[in-house]
Amino acid sequence: MAAKIIDGKALAAEIKEEVRREVAAMTAAGRPAPCLAVILVGEDPASKVYVNNKKKACEACGIRSREILLPADTTEEALLEEIRRLNADETVDGVLCQLPVPPQIDKMRVIETVSPEKDVDGFHPLTVGRMVADRPGFLPCTPAGIIELLKSAGVDPDGKNAAVVGRSNIVGKPVSTLLMRANATVTVCHTHTRDLKAETRRADIVIAAAGVPQMITSDMIKPGAAVIDVGIHRRPDGGLWGDVVFDEVSQIAGAITPVPGGVGPMTVAMLMKNTLRAAAQRRAAQVKGNN
């Protein structure tokens, strides 16, 4: 029996509509709409697409967006100064710098310079620490979207075995934390894992986030498992595929995300949710400070 297809596009549309309603209520009450500032350094084609998708999502949600386009030869200090300016700008609620950045710029310095109060990407070490310690704070967008996708498919991680393939700071490590917070027993697999197939075969939930096209095949999946494919790669014919061999695995799994139309739309939807939250928190802090 073929797997249930988890429709990330439909779920993302629901979340964005919920954000739109809350933004409308915010502006109706006389408060300004949230504002997201996105910095793009250079002309990376994929990054330009991602930034454009974020801009469109902001428009759909009633969120103000500000785009800062910097040339590829921008120095690290010039970029950090731009981030500090946005941190201090009271009209801006969320700040993110689209990754990757050119080689002359230290990515971690960029991440650490964004104010934790405006860190809607959820990458700042303080934000990550709050997540690990199970304290309130922004959740990184892709991992938070993965948890929402599982929920929408009726997959409760509580008590289940989960295999996360990939240990990046962006997806693998944080989604492992969120699965543990949801009471799953989590195995993180990576290039030094001795028997990847054995680890994924016993998992009720498989998160494929290694960034290797078509690496997860049907013989690596337990029948009925939920499979979330985070990978996105350009095929030779111009189409897209993920880390999972979809046609094969969808015949074994109980539920699976497609590529495209699975995790990607959810990442942007969760960014909108974080931006709304950042605005609400900053407005509350301002009111408290005025009293």
pLDDT on residue 290:
63
Domain of residue 203 covers 141-264
Does some domain include residue 187?
A: yes
Residue 19 lies in a domain: no
One domain for residues 104 and 173: no
Residue 286: per-residue pLDDT: 75
Asked if 171 and 89 sit in the same domain, the reply is no
pLDDT the model gives residue 287: 67
| Domain match, 189 and 223 both | yes
Q: Residue 7 burial by CB count (10 A; 0-12/13-18/19+): exposed, middle or buried? A: middle
98 in catalytic set: yes
- Identify whether residues 160 and 257 lie together within a single domain: yes
Domain assignment present for residue 47? The answer is yes
For 148, the token pair is: 């929402």
Per DSSP, what are the bridge partners of residue 226? 205, 255
Q: Does pTM top 0.75 for this prediction?
A: yes
- Residue 89 sits in the same domain as residue 154: no
85 and 180 housed in the same domain? no
CATH number, position 255: 3.40.50.720
> Can 121 be counted among the known catalytic residues?
yes
Domain shared by 110 and 148, yes or no = no
Residue 33 counted as domain residue: yes
> For residue 283, what pLDDT is reported?
83
The catalytic residue among 98, 160, 204, 229 is: 98
Q: Are residues 57 and 162 in the same domain?
A: no
Catalytic choice (16, 54, 160, 173): 54
C-alpha separations of 118 from 12, 82, 169, 276, 278 in Å: 22, 14, 19, 11, 6
pLDDT score recorded for residue 285: 79
Q: Give a yes or no: residue 10 inside a domain.
A: no
Per-residue pLDDT of the chain (291 residues; tens, 9 = 90+): 689 999 999 999 999 999 999 999 999 999 999 999 999 999 988 899 999 999 999 999 999 999 999 999 999 999 999 999 999 999 999 999 999 999 999 999 999 999 999 999 999 999 999 999 999 999 999 999 999 999 999 999 999 999 999 999 999 999 999 999 999 999 999 999 999 999 999 999 999 999 999 999 999 999 999 999 999 999 999 899 999 999 999 999 999 999 999 999 999 999 999 999 999 998 887 766 665
Residue 272 is assigned to a structural domain of this protein = no
Catalytic residue of the set 93, 119, 121, 243: 121
Question: For the chain, how many structural domains are there in total?
Answer: 2
11 in a structural domain: no
Q: Is 54 a known active-site residue?
A: yes
**Which pLDDT value is given to residue 289?**
65
pLDDT at 288: 67
Same domain, 145 and 256: yes
Do both 169 and 256 map to the same domain?
yes
Q: How far is the CA of 121 from the CAs of 49, 99, 242, 251, in angstroms?
A: 17, 11, 22, 34
